[in-house]
């Protein structure tokens, strides 16, 4: 058995060395250019993109070795961000929470405004849960390169789940409506410059209502607010924060429905996540990206079995597992239980 493991590791080391040769990287880059229809106006831009891609491609190869040697539970893969410059990557960090002190003050303020104390416990959750199979989750969206709008998509996802649960019909909430109309001093978001979950729900509650994607389609840019009541798709009566352990979060998710959450999304291992259960211990609670928590499960093919969250992203179906991530439960990875918000329909 030890010989087999040793052989696999040596074989993968050889594959890794081959995968990092210039010829292999160049071929992979050409495939990437064709797949994403990327073109460059000059040689300098082309060279910069190639250098960025090469670095990420080699990191992906090294992660593959960790996966097959049992050091890690996830694989990375090239995606549309594989040659992204710093400005393009900035669009993936659109959740604006400056520091823990401000977040604590925000939670205290909003809890007082809403006048709600969450129950100390929820009923025991089922062993597994996936709201996608229950018709509570709409299709994966793509926020694009130059709009830091993750907060709007996560807000929409959580509200869609509540409306589907209450009325039996799944709406498709307009992220663009939230981007455009919560972009002012009354709510505190910054359009494609980023925003937060509480301000987004506050807009929907006070408006009241939010548009359907069909009537207010995504543009990927900040625009003048164009909402009118004929676009109405649903509303929220209030919104509340959840704080507690991952076990508490699991019970809350099962009792409530899909939840909007803040996570850390700026690590390359996160940005180029491809499949498997994400377990990068470097993913700390530096909250800068919003996602939608839609379920949890257990991988029983490993020893011991590994529990994971199911997270919906807004980076297209090309990212991760068709737009979703499995995040390991147990270490509060990426700050998963730090900033959790949900609306009531």
Catalytic residues, by residue number, are 150, 289, 313
Helix and strand counts by DSSP (H, E) for the chain: 10, 11
- Tokens in use for 160? 């869609």
Q: Are strands 324-328 and 273-278 parallel, antiparallel or unpaired?
A: parallel
Q: Tell me the H-state helices in the chain.
A: 2-19, 22-36, 43-68, 86-90, 100-114, 150-167, 175-181, 197-206, 246-256, 268-271
Which 3 state secondary structure label does DSSP give 40? coil
Sign of CA dihedral 166, 167, 172, 177: negative
Please answer whether residues 147 and 175 qualify as being in contact, where contact means their C-beta atoms are separated by less than 8 angstroms: no
- Between CA 198 and CA 160 the distance in angstroms is 16
User: Radius of gyration (Cα) for the chain, nearest Å?
Assistant: 21
Name, in order, each residue with C-beta under 8 angstroms of 236's C-beta and a sequence gap of 6 or more.
159, 162, 201, 204, 205, 208, 343, 344, 345
- Between CA 71 and CA 62 the distance in angstroms is 11
Count the alpha carbons within 13 Å of 113 in the hemisphere toward its beta carbon: 15
The number of beta carbons lying within 10 Å of the beta carbon of residue 157 is: 27
Q: Minimal CA–CA distance to 340: which of 270, 209, 245, 236? A: 245
């Amino acid at each position: 058995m030890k010989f087999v493991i040793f052989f696999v590791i040596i074989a993968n080391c050889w594959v890794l060395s081959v995968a990092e040769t210039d010829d292999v990287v160049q071929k992979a880059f050409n495939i990437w250019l064709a797949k994403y229809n990327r073109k460059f106006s000059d040689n300098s831009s082309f060279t910069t993109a190639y250098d960025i891609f090469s670095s990420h491609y080699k990191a992906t190869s090294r992660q593959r070795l960790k996966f097959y040697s049992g050091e890690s539970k996830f694989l990375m893969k090239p995606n549309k961000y594989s040659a992204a410059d710093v400005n393009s990557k900035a669009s993936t960090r659109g959740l604006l929470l400056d520091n823990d002190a401000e977040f604590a003050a925000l939670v205290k303020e909003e809890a007082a405004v809403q006048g709600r104390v969450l129950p100390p416990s929820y009923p025991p959750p089922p062993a597994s849960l996936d709201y996608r199979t229950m018709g509570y989750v709409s299709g994966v969206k793509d926020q694009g390169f130059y709009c830091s709008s993750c907060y709007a998509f996560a807000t929409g996802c959580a509200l869609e789940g509540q409306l589907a649960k209450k009325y039996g019909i799944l709406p498709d909430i307009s992220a663009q409506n939230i981007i455009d109309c919560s972009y002012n001093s009354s709510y505190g978001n910054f359009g494609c410059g980023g925003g937060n979950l509480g301000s987004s729900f506050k807009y929907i509650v006070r408006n009241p209502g939010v548009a359907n994607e069909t009537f207010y389609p995504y543009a990927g840019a900040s625009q003048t607010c164009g909402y009118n009541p004929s676009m109405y798709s649903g509303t929220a009566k209030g919104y509340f924060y959840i704080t507690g352990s991952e076990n508490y979060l699991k019970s809350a998710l099962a009792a409530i429905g899909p939840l909007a959450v803040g996570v850390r999304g700026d690590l390359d291992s996160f940005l180029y996540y491809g499949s498997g259960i994400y377990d990068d211990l470097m993913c700390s609670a530096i909250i800068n990206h919003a996602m939608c928590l839609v379920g949890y499960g257990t991988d029983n093919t490993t020893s011991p079995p590994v529990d994971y969250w199911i997270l919906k992203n807004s980076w297209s179906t090309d990212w991760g597992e068709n737009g979703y991530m499995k995040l390991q439960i147990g270490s509060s990875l990426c700050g998963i239980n730090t900033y959790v918000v949900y609306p009531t329909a």
